Amino acid sequence: MRAVVVGSGGWGTALSMVLCDNGHDVTLWSHNSAKAAEMTRTRENPLLEGVRLPDRLKITGDLSCLEGADLVVSAAPSFAVRETGNRLAPYLRQDSVLVSVSKGIERDTNLRMSQVLQETTNHICKVVALSGPSHAEEVGIRMPTGCVSACPDRTAARFVQDAFMNDYFRIYTSYDIIGVELAAALKNVVALCCGVVTGLGYQDNTKALLMTRAMAELTRLGEQLGGTRRTFGGLAGMGDVIVTCTSMHSRNNRAGILIGQGKTVQQAMEEVGAVVEGYYAAESIHQLAEREQVDMPICRCAYEVLYNGKSARDVVAELMTRAKKDELLETAWL
């Protein structure tokens, strides 16, 4: 099978290696031709330091590599997915399968990444979301990892499962692309919040409280938007929250720690030196929650800290002194 991965970041590169390991004819495309040439020469991506790229992996900056591809993976940052979809559109066929691995919600439109790709490619082919608790750094060294291939079209979801699954990369299928994509975007905000409380000096009890109650919020919004509750307790939901909130591989977690330690939001993002998806997702979630009239106190407080300069320590006090709730009653989710 001919596969093209569009986006030479750490995640796109790691996924291209998985596809190579599975015997596919794989090309990794970079928007930077000079970077593509350097990766071809050194057989290494600086974002996956110490990991040698397979000799059979082709790397290019020429989009014509998409011609005749059976599987196309869109691995751009969320803010670049619309541009990427526009560039992919002329090369896609009706029998192509387009895989979205970007985690985010488009700013202002509040569209999920698969919706952006469907819109920009005129719904020419099936779009599948691939998501789960997966650090590129670990997939690149072939550590056991699990993800979810999600699409209402079960045949397309299974096609992606077959393409990627091997003895270190286990793939489950799901029809709930809404829940999988929402969980992927929203968990970045939770990870950023978890970093903030770490930076403030709080420890395991606080982080466990935050992660659990944030998942209640995310599930509530996800169901309101058409997702399935079980998805949020699975790999794409709680699984991704755990891995993102507890690892220094997570850019969101690292940025949050810096904010908790007193850095401004911009200083924190600059110091991390890469895209902090949770920052952008926090605004989209705030917009969605207001539109859908879903109460999300943790996400609202995250928005206030990130966009309105509110003190992180003050919002912790605000959250801890909210009205009493019963965890098992439906009203406890409000």
d(C-alpha 127, C-alpha 6), whole Å: 14
CA-to-CA distance for 44 and 130, rounded, in angstroms?
24
Interatomic CA distance for residues 211 and 194, integer angstroms: 7
Catalytic residue among 187, 263, 310, 325: 187
List the helix and strand counts (H, then E) for the chain: 15, 8
* Amino acid (one-letter) located at 263: K
Q: What is the DSSP letter of 47?
A: G
Reading the block at residue 325, the tokens are 């709730």
Beta strands 126-131 and 97-100 are: parallel
Rounded Cα distance between 320 and 146, Å, is: 34
Residue linked to tokens 């109460």: 295
CB atoms within 10 A of CB 204: 9
Q: Which H or E run includes 146?
A: strand 145-150
Q: Is 187 a catalytic residue?
A: yes
CB 11 within 8 A of CB 136: yes
Q: Give the C-alpha separation, 298 to 221, whole Å.
A: 13
| Angle CA 123–129–135, to nearest 5 | 145
Q: Determine the Cα–Cα distance for residues 19 and 91; give it in Å rounded to an integer.
A: 20
User: Which residues are part of the catalytic machinery?
Assistant: 187
